[in-house]
Amino acid sequence: MAVNAAYRIAGARPRDLPLIAHIERAAATLLAGRAPADVLDEVTPEQELQRAQCAGRLWVALKEDTPVGFVHLELLETDAAHLEEIDVHPDHGRRGLGTRLVQEACDWAGRSGYRFVTLTTFRDVPWNMPFYARLGFEETPAAALSPVLRSVLADEARRGLDPVRRVAMRLRTTWLADAASRSREKPAA
């Protein structure tokens, strides 16, 4: 899906960081009734965002130079970057921004030598697991979970997220290069 020309994806700037909590809270309203209210009110600590921004692992979707979405990668494993959080303000949803943000993060991970991008998400929310599956992420079976991903899921359960409704997924970053190559080979429709 093409992103409207009014938007652009860029590395987050220090001035963007205080605006991210507003995006997180607005996006969380879409999950009302699917997760505990205190979990939905959680926001990423600004110090964590600052570390990610300084390391080049935080991107924003901008409209008129104001963030309306973001994606945040964490480095939890030696061979995988973890998609810690992605949110788009609901007023700017359904414009391809989420896809572009995920692609930006995955491209960075591949260029940086990470073989995989991992994430956890809701299994039964239509715009969560199916969205990532369309981008090439695959469910990681429980038996194949790394200790780090097991720990992430256990922390989510401790915070009140139903573990039955959560899923870990991963994308092999080389898939991105293969997909880009395949799309260039396809004749125009």
Q: Which tens digit of pLDDT belongs to each residue from 46-104? A: 999 999 999 999 999 999 999 999 999 999 999 999 999 999 999 999 999 999 999 99
User: Is residue 3 scored above 80 in pLDDT?
Assistant: no
What is the distance between the alpha carbons of residues 159 and 39, in angstroms, rounded to a whole number?
Answer: 7
Residue 62, Cα to own-chain centre: how many angstroms?
16
Q: Which tens digit of pLDDT belongs to each residue from 160-176? A: 999 999 999 999 997 54
For residues 168 and 177, is the Cβ–Cβ distance under 8 A?
Answer: no
pLDDT score recorded for residue 178: 52
pLDDT score recorded for residue 131: 96
Q: How confident is the model at residue 189 (pLDDT cuts 50, 70, 90)?
A: very low
| CA-based torsion, 140, 144, 148, 150: positive or negative | positive
Q: Which tens digit of pLDDT belongs to each residue from 117-155? A: 999 999 999 889 999 999 999 999 999 999 999 999 999
Q: For the chain, which domains are there? A: 7-184 (3.40.630.30)
Q: Which of 64, 8, 16 is nearest to 44 (CA)?
A: 16
Q: Which of 58, 52, 67, 56 is nearest to 16 (CA)?
A: 67
Average pLDDT score, the chain: 91
